[in-house]
Amino acid sequence: MQFCLTAVILGRGKIKVTDFRDEMVQNKKTIGMMKKVNLRVSPEFEKKGFAPSYGPEAAIVEIILKNGVKYKTKKYFADWRPDNPPSLESLVKKYKDCASSIITPAKLELSIEQIQKLEQLKSIRNLLDSITI
């Protein structure tokens, strides 16, 4: 979690699979910032029953600058959960993010086509071929 928050703080925006490469994780600026990230259970959420053992979907992120200025935000639910499933567009975007570093763009697009019509496929051979490295 320290790395993910650090990546966002350092301006990388949304976290992607490629952010977890050695050169990103072992970067001196990243390591220095990670040491400044502290995680703790929020008393506010603990009172409401949000606890790590329950698989929390809530978080409070508070950033305190050297000059004492504080920025704080709360998130009560994960973006993707059973009662709020992701859109097809979101799933495709996530799949591309995860798979693009290991399969070619052409195979990536072919695999998306195959997955979108999975229930109509007579065989999964073409799908398997499209994701084979």
Residue 67 in any domain: the answer is yes
- 64 plus 33 within the same structural domain: yes
pLDDT in tens, 70-101: 999 887 777 777 777 889 999 999 999 889 88
For helices 88-99 and 105-116, what crossing angle results, to 10°?
Answer: 140
Residue 72 phi/psi, 5-degree rounding, is -140, 140
Which domain covers residue 93, as residue numbers?
A: 88-131
pLDDT of residue 11: 74
- 63 plus 111 within the same structural domain: no
Number of separate domains in the chain: 2
- 6 plus 71 within the same structural domain: yes
- 8 plus 38 within the same structural domain: yes
- 101 plus 66 within the same structural domain: no
- 62 plus 122 within the same structural domain: no
pLDDT of residue 50: 65
What percent of the chain has pLDDT above 70? Answer: 92
Domain end, chosen from 75, 96, 121, is at 75
pTM here? 0.66
Return the SS3 of 113.
Answer: helix
